[in-house]
A = this chain, B = another copy of it.
């Protein structure tokens, strides 16, 4: 038995694997593989229609937003966002809450002025900065709503008239949000949405084209919005597998239900980290992520022995990112609470052995 705590690409429900494998052999009883059907086939257009509707329903997206299914990962959005909505000479404001924020900042600088409203870098990103000002003339305000590497999450989005742009790669579909509070949301699919190779962008229509730049077609939100994400050949399989996963989420009760489970899972694991004398959480308690639970050992000499102990018991992907060290258990939507309990058992057993 393996428990996949990997940070991404990451666990998806077993039934999604089963259905995706079936579709690789025979998609929707067409007698063809999902890998060989045309993206212009009516059967695939139906897939696109259904996933767009599911994203809309699951996230409760109001009218006036476009939902785009792109390629290139969240990293390409670091550039596409300013290309599309930051006009020449304008300033964009960014909150620097982790490695991904700082990469987004670096890419944005190519297209305009970047104003960093606050940064927790000096504290190795162990908290999410609060009490910053967002200049009213910012073209947008960019945040990373969940810091995958450092294990912090932004629970209160600022109230501002500046459009908020959020990198939700590692928390999309994990919690209820008021989409109307955002101008643009983007996410690499490979955590809570589906397999790698797909990037979700949700953008307020009145932001599209705001930069006034003449853009390459493939980097222009307008082109993708006007073509229902079928301007060119999309990531057919990743879209289909994501559809299967979102169907699973809907059948489970949707985002409100999964949020409850995510709270229960993360509370159980943080409780053990706090209780167990061998482990501690490096992050500010109020900012603790429900998706990526980072923990370190009080005695770093036990790092390797614990990793080995846990791996031997089926724990996969718990090594912390090199910028934090220690351990990280990513507990995305598809990870069952039984896996969290299994990890807690391993932590307790290890503590008993090393008491």
Measured CB to CB, the residues of A under 8 A from B are 2, 4, 6-12, 16-18, 20-22, 24-25, 30-33, 35-39, 71-76, 78-79, 83, 106-107, 110, 188, 190, 194-197, 214-219, 231-238, 241, 316-317
Bound Cα distance A79, B219 (Å): 9
A282 to chain B, nearest CB (A): 21
B238, A7: Cβ atoms closer than 8 Å:
no
Residue of B nearest to A317 (CB): B38
A36, B12: Cβ atoms closer than 8 Å:
yes
Bound Cα distance A37, B10 (Å): 6
* Given A22-B21, A217-B75, A237-B237, CB of A36 within 8 Å of CB of B6: yes
- Per assembly, the copies of the chain total 2
Which chain B residues lie closer than 8 Å to A17 at the CB level? Answer: 24-25, 33, 35-36
B219, A39: Cβ atoms closer than 8 Å:
no
Which chain B residues lie closer than 8 Å to A10 at the CB level? Answer: 36, 38
Bound Cα distance A234, B2 (Å): 24
Which chain B residues lie closer than 8 Å to A2 at the CB level? Answer: 30-32
Which chain B residues lie closer than 8 Å to A9 at the CB level? Answer: 35-39, 233, 236
B237, A195: Cβ atoms closer than 8 Å:
yes
A309 to chain B, nearest CB (A): 18
A71, B197: Cβ atoms closer than 8 Å:
yes
* Given A17-B33, A21-B25, CB of A234 within 8 Å of CB of B38: no
Bound Cα distance A316, B71 (Å): 27
A235, B197: Cβ atoms closer than 8 Å:
yes
Listed from nearest, the 6 A-B pairs whose CB atoms lie closest are A79-B216, A197-B235, A75-B232, A71-B71, A21-B24, A35-B195
A316, B32: Cβ atoms closer than 8 Å:
yes
Residue of B nearest to A234 (CB): B196
Which chain B residues lie closer than 8 Å to A75 at the CB level? Answer: 217-218, 231-233
Contact among B24, B39, B73, B196 with A218 in the assembled complex (CB-CB below 8 Å): B73
13 further interface pairs, Cβ-Cβ under 8 Å (given A190-B233, A196-B234)? A8-B233, A9-B38, A12-B33, A12-B35, A17-B33, A17-B35, A20-B24, A21-B24, A78-B218, A79-B217, A196-B235, A196-B236, A196-B237
Bound Cα distance A75, B35 (Å): 20
Bound Cα distance A188, B234 (Å): 11
A218, B36: Cβ atoms closer than 8 Å:
no
A98 to chain B, nearest CB (A): 15
A214 to chain B, nearest CB (A): 6
